[in-house]
Structure 1
């Protein structure tokens, strides 16, 4: 899953990773939650003309996709994750999978491991090599009855790899930098042409660090959220029971 993540890289690092013309400076964000603005990168219009210049565009969107056909978003669940296995067929995500695939820069994400029936232990999951990575995302614009347009988005998830399934059975899809162009090319590549990219990260790509439950509160936004919690063990290797109904799973 991906219900909280962080982006504490510099704007220059994000600009370099995504190969975009410009990224407005932003402060480090250590506890990004659904309904908050997130940065996305999409293919720009010049990409279809064979230009060798950086043509990807960035935009801020509300984390929580609202389908264009929705009459009243309050009647829908908060769609901040999309299952990669079914997104191309689901009415809520089908159009975005075909026309508005995106990249979501991140420094890592938080995940909760259910312990017993009333307690969940949080982990900060980051790439072992450090730096900034990109999750697979979907963007959709929604117009309210009054005509105001809102850009919204979701992060695609897949089954957890062997390193993380002891914490949770899902994880966000990470797109390798070498595959950015193919993933973003919605003009020439249909969802079936990029389905092979929607896979778990390779074993060893991520490390999971036990952290305190301060991350549970959206109001806590400091770097201390990513500090190792004393007395907590590393992520277990065993696979837990399916936690799809847990509230903290968030999807």
Structure 2
């Protein structure tokens, strides 16, 4: 998965798609209008703490003190639950990124062509994520990563990895602090949208510049 996605609907739209109500959540009908979300920026992250759901702006990237490279932005679903880097996050820092689609770049000759990938019915997407909880505390570069899965046969012509997109009815259990790491692994295997749930089209190369925003970035060219 490339390090770019779109998060442009309102908070209310995402909450409605999940069918959730929580008196601690802040509801807002105004669109977020982020059509070109880049790594290293703060992203609205849905998470649970103190038995309530919260939507917090969290740094997209994860690099603990001992990590001497650039912060990572993705974690493979196959190894995230057991590897040194991500096992603690899988156990105690599961979260969800509400989104509307993501971008991938396909190499065509000497150039790279961007694509926008989204739900067949244009429904909101919910990327599985893990990070350094609690998410309302300043953690520097210990933010969050998006969990990815193999594209199998559906999108491998564009990219061999994709975000792990949870079904809306699985989000609450994924976020629950009562869900065991083992059960979370089952959810990551069984409660995700298949490649057939998505469509994709070519988009403008302007999306390559993180300073560009606007609806035209997700429109077909």
Q: Normalising by the residue count of structure 1, what TM-score does the alignment of the two structures yield?
A: 0.77
Q: Which runs of 5+ in 2 are unaligned?
A: none
Task: Name which of structure 1's ranges 197-206 and 172-181 shifts more when overlaid on structure 2.
Answer: 197-206
Q: Which runs of 5+ in 1 are unaligned?
A: 47-54, 230-251
- Measured after TM superposition, the shift of residue 181 of structure 1 is 2.1
Report the 3-state secondary structure (helix = DSSP H, G, I; strand = E; otherwise coil) of the residue aligned with 2:156.
coil
Report the 3-state secondary structure (helix = DSSP H, G, I; strand = E; otherwise coil) of the residue aligned with 1:158.
strand
Q: 1:81 aligns with which of 74, 77, 102?
A: 74
Match of 2:63? 66
- Measured after TM superposition, the shift of residue 42 of structure 1 is 1.3
5 Å-filtered alignment, 1:94-105, equals 94-105=87-98
Match of 2:104? 111
| Distance in structure 1 (CA, Å) of the matches to 2:81 and 2:10 | 33
Task: Name which of structure 1's ranges 58-67 and 133-142 shifts more when overlaid on structure 2.
Answer: 133-142
- Measured after TM superposition, the shift of residue 127 of structure 1 is 0.4
Q: 1:212 aligns with which of 195, 201, 204?
A: 204
Q: Which whole-Å deviations, capped at 9, do the CAs of 1:41-62 have from their partners, x for residues lacking one?
A: 112312xxxxxxxx21111100
| Distance in structure 1 (CA, Å) of the matches to 2:77 and 2:195 | 19
- Measured after TM superposition, the shift of residue 209 of structure 1 is 0.7
- Measured after TM superposition, the shift of residue 106 of structure 1 is 0.1
Q: Normalising by the residue count of structure 2, what TM-score does the alignment of the two structures yield?
A: 0.86
Indicate how the Cα distance of structure 1 residues 107 and 148 shifts in structure 2: closer, same or farther if over 3 A, else same.
closer
Task: Tell me how many residue pairs correspond in the alignment.
Answer: 211
Measured on the aligned residues, the alpha-carbon RMSD in Å equals: 2.2
Indicate how the Cα distance of structure 1 residues 203 and 82 shifts in structure 2: closer, same or farther if over 3 A, else same.
closer
Report the 3-state secondary structure (helix = DSSP H, G, I; strand = E; otherwise coil) of the residue aligned with 1:90.
coil
| Distance in structure 1 (CA, Å) of the matches to 2:57 and 2:80 | 22
